[in-house]
Structure 1
C-alpha cells in the first residue's frame, strides 16, 4: 500500500500527541527529540523517499501529506505555519511565518488581512511582496493547468461568482478571464493583502498552515505546468540544480533566508539529500543495519510487515503513531459497470476489509474503518451503510446483488491501485479474492510511479481505485466536499480529488451547502454526518482502515520528532544529524 497519503493538518491533535508520547515519537522541546540527543548545526541529512515519487513541488498543486510536510519545513513559507511542538494545543495553533501576525478579521471571518513582514526574501534575493501572495492565490483558478491541489477551498469561499459550469468565472492568471472579479476579492494595499469571502471562514489561518495553496509565487518565473518540479524557495534551503523524478535532488542552504525572520525552522543540517527509487524493504534493511549513509536518514515509508519482528533491533529509533488517514476504495461512476447501483452494492458487500488488513500487516499496521471520516474528527459517526457489514464482507449477499447487476456476466472490473511494493500487491490481491468469490472477475492494475496524477484524469481506464485521506483541519468539511462535491472537483481536465467521478446531484449539493452554512459546530457536524450517510447509500466509497505509522530513523539523526501538527511525519524543522 502506498504511503503517500493525502494531508492531515490539525485533526486529532490530542490523539496523536498521546500516541507519540507513549511511543517516544518526540517532545515539545524544539531542540530535543526521542533519540540522538540535542540537534546541532551542520552535517548532511538524507530523506529516503522510496518508490512513491514526489508528484508535485508546485505549491498550488501539492496535496500529499509527506510533501506538504517536507516542503513547508525546508523551502516554502506562507503567511502562517504550525510550530514545531507536540503539545496538542500549541502544535495546532498557527503562528506568524511570512506575516507580521496571524491575520486580522473584524467581521467574523468574512474577510482576512495579512501584512508581509520585513526582511523576507526569495532565494534570488528579491523581496517577497503582497503581489506575490495575490498571484499565488490566483493560480488555483487555472483548473486546466494547476491540477491536483486544494483549490476547492477557494472556489467554495472566495467572493468570486460561479458560472453555469459551477466553477468560478475567474479562470486564472494565464487566460485572465474574469480577472476583475478576482481583483475585487483579493486586494493589496502596500504590503497588506485582504481576502474577501462569500461566507465567514474563521479557520482560514488553519487552512494556510495546513496546506500550501495560498503560498506566494513569482509571476515572472511562472511557466505553468512546466514548473511542476521547479522550486522557488523562500525558506532555509534551496534546490541545488534540478529535481530528477525517480532519483530526487539535493537541497543546500539558501543564503537569502534570514533566521531572524523565522521562528519555526531551525535548519540544522547543511544539506538535505532526497533520494527516490529504493523499495521499502531496501530502505529498512539499511535503517535496521544502521550503517553507512542510513545512519543520517529519515523516511516516511513504513516498516514493511516482513521486517516488523526486527523492530526491537532499532531501540528508541522506532516510532509508532496512529495516523489521521483513512484508506478506502471507490467505484468509478464513469465505468459502465458501476453506473448501476446494484453493481456498486455488490462491490461493497464483497469487500473483505479483514483480508486487506491482514495482508498489510494486521493490527500493528491498521485499524478497521467504518467511515471515510477518521474517528478523531469532531462529530464522527459510523456510516450506517458499512457499520453492519462483517469485516470479511458478505459473499452471499454480494453474489445476490451481483445477479441484479446489469453488466454482462462475469462482471469484469479493473482495480487500479498504488503498487510498487510486495505489501500493496498482497493487499490488492486480497481484495480481488473477495470480489472474485462473489462473482466479479478482477484485473489488478498497479501504478508503481505516479499515482494521483493518473487517477485524477476523468477518462482514466479503471473501474475501482484506491484512495487515502486525512482531514485538512478538524472538520468533516475538510473531508466530504474535497472528495465528493462534484461542483468543485469535476472539470474537463481533472476530477480533482473525486477520483470516482461521483456526482451527488442537487440533493447532495444542497446537503453540503446546508452543512457549510451551519454556524453551530455541533449542528454542522450532524449535517456532515448526514451527507456521509448519503454517500454510503450511493456507495460513493468503501472504507477499509485507519493507517498506523511505523517508522525508523538513523542512529546519527539528532533531535528527532514527529510533526503532529501536519501529519505525524518526521518534523524536518527540528531534525539534525551528527557531523
Structure 2
C-alpha cells in the first residue's frame, strides 16, 4: 500500500498476525490461514488520557451523535474510486462510504481481526483454497436506495481487469488470482467474467491458484460493490467514476471539488442493523485540501480542524508537541510496519555498481532527520520492516558507516567498478507539496555530491506522482529519473501482502505500476509465486529480501513511525493500524461541540 508522501499497520500487530497465520497454515512463513482473522470484537475504551493513548485503545468513548468532523490533507486522494485508490490514508477514508464482503472488525491494538461485512461471515473454501463462497447480508443498500446484490460485487471486481481504464489500484492481486481468459479486459470490452458466479444472495470465486489469504482481498476497498452496468447514478463511468462513486457505507459524497474539498453526509439508506463494523457518530465529514503543510499544523494547533487525514505533523509542530505537555497529551506516535525507500531505476542507471555507489553514499541519518527524526522511525538496513515475517535486524548488506551517514570509501570503489570514478548525474523524483521530499533531496544532494554523484530535483504533485509519474516505466525512462522517493506498507499483514505489488515481475504495468524499479528477479518471483499457497518458510522470505537488496534497485532508509495530532474534542478516537498505518479511524469518530 502506498505510503503517501498503507498510513500504517502496527509492527506488533503484524507480528502477532504473522505468527497466527504461520501456525494455522502449518508453515513457519506466515502464508495465511483459512479463517483470515478472528471473531468480531469490540475494543474496550481507554480511560487513560495523554500521549499515545489512542495508539492501541479507544479514547474518549461517547455515544453522542451529530456535528461535523473537520479533516485536512495536503493533497487529494489518488482516486475516490475504490478500484483505483492505493494510498493508505485513502483506504482509511474509503471506510466512510464503501463496504466490502469482509472487513476489519478491529483495527487497533496488537491483534487485528476481520469478519463479515457485506457478507454474513468470512468466506467458505474448498480444500486447496481455489474456490471461495460468500453469502450476502440481507437488507444492504446503496445510497441510491437500490439493494446491493452479488452482481454488483462481481461487477466491481470485473472492473479491476480493465487496467487501461481502472488503473493505479491493487488490481494485480485479483488479476493474478481469479480465473479469467488470457485476454480478458474487464466489463467494458470483455463483458461477463464467468469464473465469478452469483445467485440472489451468494457469490463464488473460482481461482487460478491456491490462495489461503483470499479473505484479505475481500477486505480491500477494491472489492467494494459498484452498481452493475450503471456506474454512478449521476452518469460518471469508467475512469470518471472517481468524481462521484456510489456509496455502500454510512456516509455518501455530497459534494466534491478535486484538489480542494470533499464533503460526506450520512447515507439515508445505510442501516446500523446491517453493519457490525462501523458505528458512526458524526453527521458529516469535511476534508479540505491545503497544500501548505505548515498551515495544516497551525489549524490543528488552533483547534479549527480536528485531524490530518493523510499524514503526520511537520517538523516545526512536531518539536512543539514534544516539548509542550499540553500539546503532547493530544498526540500519538504508533509503530508501523512500513518502509520508506528510494526506487533506484535500472532503465536509467543500468550499471549495478553505479547503483551500489548510491547505496553506500546515502545519508540515511539525514533522510531520517528530513522526515522528522526519531518520531518518524529508525534507520532501515533492508526492505522487510519490523513485524513482517522475514525481518532481520542483523541483516545490513550496504553498511553506511558511522552514524549511518554514508560509506564514502565503498561508494568510490563502486564508482570505479562502474567506470564512473568521477561520478555521474541523474534526476531525483519526489512528491509535492509535502516538505519531506525537498528535505530528503537536499540531504542526499549534499551526501551524494561527496563522491561526485549529482542529482537534480524532479518534483510532481502527489495526486498523480505514483499513478502516472513514477508509476509509468516509460515516463521514468523518458524523463531520466534515476531515483524516486517512495514508501510502502503491507496491503494485508503477510510478507506476500508487503512484497507482491512492489517487487513481482509479473505485476509491472504501463501505468499505475507499483514495481517502480521494474524489478523482475527469478528468486523474488519464485518466492512470491509460492506465497499464496502458504508453504513459504521464514528462510524463503529472507531469501526474497536478500535478492531484492542484491539487485540494488530498492534502497530502504527508514522503518517508519508517524506522529499524529488529534483535536481533544474528538470522541471514540483510535488508530487504524489495519489499513491506515496509525491514522485515526475516522468512520467511528464523533465530535463534542
**TM-score normalised per structure 1:** 0.88
In the other structure, the counterpart of 1:480 is 499
Contact 1:46 1:273 (C-alpha < 8 Å) held by counterparts: yes
The residue number in structure 2 matching 1:63 is 86
SS state at 2:311 partner: coil
Residues 473 and 5 (structure 1), Cα distance of their counterparts in 2 relative to 1, 3 Å cut:
farther
Aligned length: 545
The Cα offsets for residues 228-262 of structure 1, whole Å up to 9 and x where unpaired, read as 33221011111113x22221211111111111111
2:36 is matched with which residue?
Answer: none
**Partner Cα separation in structure 2 for residue 422 and residue 101 of structure 1:** 43
1:497 alignment counterpart: 514
- 2:105 paired residue number: 83
RMSD: 2.5
Q: Does 1:40 align with 2:49?
A: no
Other-structure match for 1:513? 529
Q: CA deviation at 1:97?
A: 1.0
What SS is found at the alignment partner of 2:500?
helix
Aligned residue for 1:302, secondary structure, equals coil
Query: Cα–Cα, structure 1 residues 366 and 152, in superposed 2: closer, same or farther, change >3 Å?
Result: same
- Shift of the alpha carbon at 1:25? 3.5
Match of 1:341 in 2: 352
Correspondence for 2:254 = 240
Shift of 1:553: 1.5
- 1:470 corresponds to which of 471, 489, 496: 489
Q: Are the structure 2 counterparts of residues 174 and 524 from structure 1 closer, same or farther at C-alpha, using a change threshold of 3 Å?
A: farther
| 2:485 equivalent to 1:457 | no
- Following superposition, the deviation at residue 469 of structure 1 comes to 0.6
Say which SS state the counterpart of residue 206 (structure 1) adopts: helix
TM-superposed deviation, 1:333: 2.1
Alpha carbons 1:10, 1:473 under 8 Å: kept: no
Matches within 5 A, 1:156-167: 156-160=176-180
Q: Which residue of 2 is the match for residue 4 of structure 1?
A: 4
CA separation of 1:446/1:190 partners in 2, compared to 1, >3 Å: closer, same or farther? same
2:197 maps to 1:197: no
Q: Secondary structure at the match of 2:85?
A: coil
- Match in the other structure for 1:381: 392
CA contact (8 A) 1:458 1:495 kept: no
2:335 counterpart SS class: strand
Residue 440 of structure 1 and its aligned partner are, at CA, apart by 0.9
C-alpha separation in 2, matches of 1:84 and 1:254: 23
| Cα distance change of structure 1 residues 475 and 121 upon mapping to structure 2, 3 Å threshold | same
Aligned pairs for 1:70-219 (under 5 A) are 70-72=93-95, 74-84=96-106, 86-89=108-111, 92-160=112-180, 168-176=182-190, 182-183=193-194, 185-209=195-219, 211-218=220-227, 219=229
Contact residue 347 and residue 398 of structure 1 kept, 8 A:
yes
2:446 to 433, 437, 451: 433
| Alpha-carbon shift at residue 297 of structure 1 (Å) | 4.3
The alpha carbon displacement at 1:358 in A equals: 2.1
Select which of 311, 314, 330 maps to 1:304.
314
Q: Give the Å deviation of 1:419.
A: 3.2
Q: Determine the C-alpha separation between the residues in 2 that align with 1:330 and 1:11.
A: 23
Kept after mapping to 2: 8 A contact 1:299/1:553: no
- Runs of 5+ consecutive residues of structure 1 not aligned to the other structure: 162-167
- Kept in 2, the 8 Å contact 1:350–1:393? The answer is yes
Name the CA distance, whole Å, in 1 between partners of 2:56 and 2:416. 57
Q: d(CA) in 2 for partners of 1:187 and 1:228?
A: 27
Relative to structure 1, the CA distance from residue 447 to residue 570 in structure 2 (aligned partners, 3 Å threshold; closer, same or farther) is same
Shift of 1:155: 2.5
In the TM superposition, what is the alpha-carbon distance from 1:334 to its structure 2 partner? 2.0
Stretches of structure 2 that go unaligned for 5 or more consecutive residues are: 17-42
Does the CA contact (< 8 Å) of 1:5 and 1:65 recur in 2? no
1:359-438 maps to which residues of 2 (within 5 A)? 359-382=370-393, 384=395, 386=397, 388-390=399-401, 391-406=404-419, 410-438=423-451
What is aligned with 1:164? Answer: none
Whether contact under 8 Å (1:374, 1:380) holds in the other structure is: yes
Matched residue of 2:161: which SS? coil
Instruction: Return the alpha-carbon distance in structure 2 between the equivalents of residues 423 and 27 of structure 1.
Output: 23
Displacement of 1:474? 2.3
Moved over 6 A (4+): 14-17
Please give the per-residue CA displacement for 1:181-222, whole angstroms capped at 9, x wherever unaligned: x31x2111222110112232222112322x212111122126
Which residue of structure 1 aligns with residue 37 of structure 2?
A: none
Query: Which secondary structure does the structure 2 equivalent of 1:355 belong to?
Result: helix
In structure 2, C-alpha distance between the alignment counterparts of 1:515 and 1:572, rounded to whole Å:
33
Q: For residue 413 of structure 1, give the secondary structure of its aligned residue in structure 2.
A: strand
